[in-house]
A and B are shown apart, each in its own frame.
Chain A
Amino acid sequence: MAKKRAFDVTTLPGFTFIAVVAFVLLYAPIATLVIYSFNGGNSVNQWGGFSLQWYVVAFNNEAVQDAAIRSLIIALWASVISTTVATMAALGTTRRGRFKGQTLIYIIINQPLMVPEIVTAVALLIFFSSVKVATGYTGLGYLILAHSAFCIPFAYLPIKARLEGMDTSMETAAADLYATPWQTFRYVTLPLLLPGVIAGAMLAFIISLDNVIITEFVKSAGQDTLPTYMLGQLRRALTPEVNAISTALLALTVLILIVFVFVTKKRA
């Protein structure tokens, strides 16, 4: 008979098994998708030898190039704008005790996390379509605005968390040494806060880069981003080109997340 292991209070029957199954189920489809992006054949599920041809195809596809550049432009703007306003809001709502209306500010800031995306998408479609008619402007501005707005809570949360963990004594010391409020902020608060700001900007960047639904509804003709381009492709005959684009996006996301983990781990 097998030797019985010591009784461990943290073990529950079947839990480890189900957990392992869950991890396998989470990763098997993604792994398959990545593997078939290196397929030499034309099929997304018939293996035809290792090849990078679909990356070349995707890279040389003008529609993909345009969509990728558009995605990056929007994501950069959205992360810069949302992080800036989120930093200010975090400074305004953290470490100074409660004030009247604070809950309302929290609700508005976190609203994009709560409202179903399809509802926001429809709302922006209605609103921006009349603005488009009224102003005649049909540029990327609408997408940048919409993305900046729904990225705010993602930028806000890590910055707020960082601020709450920060000691106020340094700022008090600076003020005691006759630093102006701006000098205190610029030379004391901001450098201490920076990891939170970078983390917030990165999350906002990923969220903007990945957005499908709101972009699909707000974009004007010829303003496909990488995800909306892929959405269009997924309804047609599939080639491993979609796998290649997905894998590239996935790699970028993982890379940003790894940097994120290192930035947030470092303590000031």
Chain B
Amino acid sequence: MSIAGGQRSKGANGWLLSAPALVLLVFAASGPLLIVALYSVLEKGDYSGVRWILSGDGWFRVLFERDIFDQTVSLADANLSIFWRSVKLSISTTVITFVLGLPTAWFIATRPAKSRAFWLFLITIPFWTNLLIRTFAIMEVVRNEGILNTALISAGLISDPIQIMYTDTAVLIGMTYVYLPLMVLPLYAAIDRFDFRLIEAGYDLYASRWQVLRGVILPIIKPGIIAGSILVFIPSLGAYVTPRLLGGGKNMMIGNFIELQFGQGQNWPLGAALSTVLLLIVLVSLVVYTRVSSRDNPHG
């Protein structure tokens, strides 16, 4: 019996030993999320902060705006375009990282056992490298005076630099770059358990390579595909650093829009409501993920 054995029940000991971690997390991570939900239904303060009066204005302003002169209500187009950009860029990032990530994960998983750890390590380094450093590295590539434009100009392909920096394309390139390892790692984990004899069986039954990929490989590694997609989609949707540095002030995503409300915008209830929306989207994605993966993978 370990330290926690003895006469006391397993459950009591489990809770007791977990208590310090739980207290810390509830105090400095989970608990404050409830405060955000509360702030979203309060009235906005004069400068920053809130007044302790219930108000639906924060939530109202997520989607609508009221004309300051005649009080007519209309959809807030600026907000909608930010939501649309966030969703569009996050889905695009997920798709592109999958297209690049699947072959990469496949490549690593089919290396001989000896060199596999090395290739895996090469994916792990960017994974653990500071997000800011990786975004900075991409800035240096896409800037007007960056490597890409310099190379294209010196090759004589273009005469003036292409404006990539501060566009949605720059944000998309940046997010694909920083989140690619998050797609590769779960895909690798799924492919690593893959029984390659199944492919042989597929070929024996005269399947083409494409049929084997679609009919045998993809269905079996589906849990890895879903896990990778969730791992890329969620941080993309809440991305802050990458769109801020690569998108500039105009090409905001939800994360930057939230920050704006706590900075210059000075509308904490709106910022809190937007945060709650983001949180709910994540929650729904996770629930869907758990449902789908437990249905597809009864053994896992």
**Chain A contacts for B258, CB-based, 8 A:** 118-119, 122
Within 8 A of A (CB), among B234-256: 234-235, 237-238, 240-241, 245, 255
In the complex the two chains form, is B36's CB within 8 Å of A213's CB? no
In the complex the two chains form, is B238's CB within 8 Å of A119's CB? yes
B134 within 8 A of A: yes
Given contacts A12-B103, A18-B100, A212-B241, contact A257 B275 (CB under 8 A): no
A38 within 8 A of B: no
Interface segment, one of B10-18, B67-75, B164-172, B291-299: B10-18
In the complex the two chains form, is B14's CB within 8 Å of A18's CB? no
**Which chain A residue has the least Cβ–Cβ distance from B33?**
A123
In the complex the two chains form, is A33's CB within 8 Å of B28's CB? no
A66 within 8 A of B: no
**Which chain A residue has the least Cβ–Cβ distance from B257?**
A118
Within 8 A of B (CB), among A225-253: 227, 230-231, 234-235, 242, 246, 249-250, 253
**Chain A contacts for B3, CB-based, 8 A:** 91, 181-182, 184-185, 189
Pair count A-B, CB < 8 A: 288
In the complex the two chains form, is B141's CB within 8 Å of A29's CB? yes
In the complex the two chains form, is A32's CB within 8 Å of B32's CB? no
- Which of B30, B203, B268, B272 is the most central at the interface, judged by chain A CB atoms within 10 Å of its CB? B30
**Interface of chain B, main secondary structure:** helix
- B282's partner among A112, A115, A121, A156 (CB-CB below 8 A) is A115
- Complex Cα–Cα for A127 and B29 (A): 10
- Complex Cα–Cα for A29 and B133 (A): 10
- Complex Cα–Cα for A18 and B105 (A): 11
B146 within 8 A of A: yes
Within 8 A of A (CB), among B144-170: 145-147, 150
In the complex the two chains form, is B11's CB within 8 Å of A100's CB? yes
**Chain B contacts for A185, CB-based, 8 A:** 2-3
Interface residues on A, range: 35 or more
Chain A's nearest CB lies how many Å from the CB of B272?
Answer: 7
Given contacts A108-B26, A116-B238, A156-B21, contact A33 B13 (CB under 8 A): no
**Chain B contacts for A139, CB-based, 8 A:** none
In the complex the two chains form, is B24's CB within 8 Å of A88's CB? no
In the complex the two chains form, is B209's CB within 8 Å of A99's CB? no
Chain A's nearest CB lies how many Å from the CB of B194?
Answer: 10
What are 7 of the A-B contact pairs (CB < 8 Å)? A29-B177, A88-B20, A116-B234, A126-B39, A171-B2, A189-B2, A227-B130
New contact pairs (18) apart from A109-B22, A227-B132, CB-CB < 8 Å: A26-B177, A29-B134, A30-B134, A108-B30, A111-B29, A114-B286, A116-B234, A118-B238, A122-B36, A124-B32, A126-B32, A126-B268, A146-B29, A184-B1, A206-B128, A209-B130, A231-B132, A235-B245
Chain A residues with CB under 8 Å of chain B are 7, 9-23, 25-30, 32-33, 36, 44-45, 81-82, 84-86, 88-89, 91-93, 95-97, 99-102, 105, 108-109, 111-112, 114-127, 145-146, 148-150, 152, 156, 168, 171-172, 175, 181-182, 184-185, 189, 203, 206, 209-210, 212-213, 217, 227, 230-231, 234-235, 242, 246, 249-250, 253-254, 257, 261
Chain B residues with CB under 8 Å of chain A are 1-6, 9-11, 13-18, 20-22, 24-33, 35-36, 39, 99-104, 106-108, 110, 117, 121-126, 128-134, 136-141, 143, 145-147, 150, 177, 180-181, 184, 196, 199-200, 203, 209, 213, 217, 234-235, 237-238, 240-241, 245, 255, 258-259, 262, 268, 271-272, 275, 278-279, 282, 286
